[in-house]
């Protein structure tokens, strides 16, 4: 899905002077997303994003310290939309549904590529690792722990592991198979879930 860089349908809302240009912000996020999905992380350069978004390089550097932060912005927005951690549920089905959504996200949703790319980049770059944890993995894990805690308290699930380990026992195989290009069928998610969080 390529967006035309120059001419937009509504001719780019008059720039807002002193304030940040929301159109430019969105153009950058979309360009980064598109480029990652279509050409991969290796081709994802700041110059390419600027070109694709029809934006000056300086505009990118003004607002993001690195391309990783751009991807994090899109990831945070997208994953909230596509597989939010349920904030209220505590039923087995609700929790299992969450992990199914996780598997779907990282294996089939284009936005899931962003997460895999960031986990990868975190291996190459400590600052990426820190940002990824501080802005994405950490907060999300917090919600996941709360979800599980509610489920346990409600007697819907149980585990012999600590919460983090239990989550990793399900999420780990999902992510690992996504990273190695293997599929993650729903039945596998369910088996992993039942193996560690049996009622």
**Residue numbers at the binding site for a copy of itself (CB under 8 A):** 40-42, 116-117, 119-126, 129, 133, 137, 160-161, 164-165, 168-169, 171-177, 179-182, 188, 191-192, 195-196
* Euclidean distance between CA atoms 101 and 109, whole angstroms: 10
Interface mask toward DNA for 34-63; x: CB under 7 A: ---------x-xxxx-----xxxxxx-xxx
Q: Name the minimum Å distance from CB 65 to DNA.
A: 8
Q: Is 66 in the site for DNA (CB under 7 A)?
A: yes
In this chain, which stretch among 13-21, 90-98, 153-161, 174-182 interacts with DNA, using CB under 7 A? Answer: 13-21
The 8-class DSSP code of residue 7 comes to -
**How many Cβ atoms are within 10 Å of 88's Cβ, its own excluded?**
7
DSSP code per residue over 73-130? HHHHHHHHHHHPPPSS--SHHHHHHHHHHHHHHHHH-HHHHHHHHHHHHHHH-HHHHH
Q: Name the minimum Å distance from CB 117 to DNA.
A: 14
> Which of DNA, a copy of itself, none lies near 182, with the C-beta cut-off 5 to 8 A by kind?
a copy of itself
- Ramachandran category for residue 55: left, alpha or beta (phi over 0 → left; psi -120 to 50 → alpha): beta
Q: Is 18 in the site for DNA (CB under 7 A)?
A: yes
Answer whether 185's CB lies under 8 Å from 107's CB.
no
Q: Name the minimum Å distance from CB 22 to a copy of itself.
A: 23
CB neighbour list of residue 191: distance below 8 Å, 6 or more residues apart = none
* Euclidean distance between CA atoms 92 and 175, whole angstroms: 21
> Which of DNA, a copy of itself, none lies near 189, with the C-beta cut-off 5 to 8 A by kind?
none
- Residues near DNA (CB under 7 A) are 14-21, 24-25, 27, 43, 45-48, 54-59, 61-63, 66-67
């Amino acid at each position: 899905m390529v967006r035309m860089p120059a001419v937009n349908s509504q001719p780019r809302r008059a720039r807002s002077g002193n304030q940040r240009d929301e159109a430019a912000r969105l153009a950058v996020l979309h360009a980064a997303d598109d480029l990652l999905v279509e050409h991969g992380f290796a081709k994802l350069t700041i110059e390419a994003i600027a070109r694709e978004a029809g934006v000056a390089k300086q505009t990118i550097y003004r607002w993001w310290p690195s391309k990783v932060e751009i991807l994090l912005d899109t990831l945070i927005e997208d994953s909230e939309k596509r597989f939010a951690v349920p904030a209220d549920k505590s039923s087995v089905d609700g929790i299992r549904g969450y992990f199914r959504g996780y598997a779907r996200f990282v294996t089939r949703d284009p936005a899931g590529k962003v997460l895999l790319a960031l986990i990868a980049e975190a291996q190459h770059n400590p600052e990426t690792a820190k940002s990824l944890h501080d802005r994405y993995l950490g907060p999300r894990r917090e919600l996941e722990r709360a979800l599980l805690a509610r489920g346990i308290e409600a007697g819907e699930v149980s585990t012999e592991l600590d919460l983090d380990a239990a989550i990793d026992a399900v999420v780990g195989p999902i992510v690992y198979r996504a990273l190695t290009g293997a599929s993650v069928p729903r039945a596998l998610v369910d088996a992993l879930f039942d193996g560690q969080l049996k009622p």
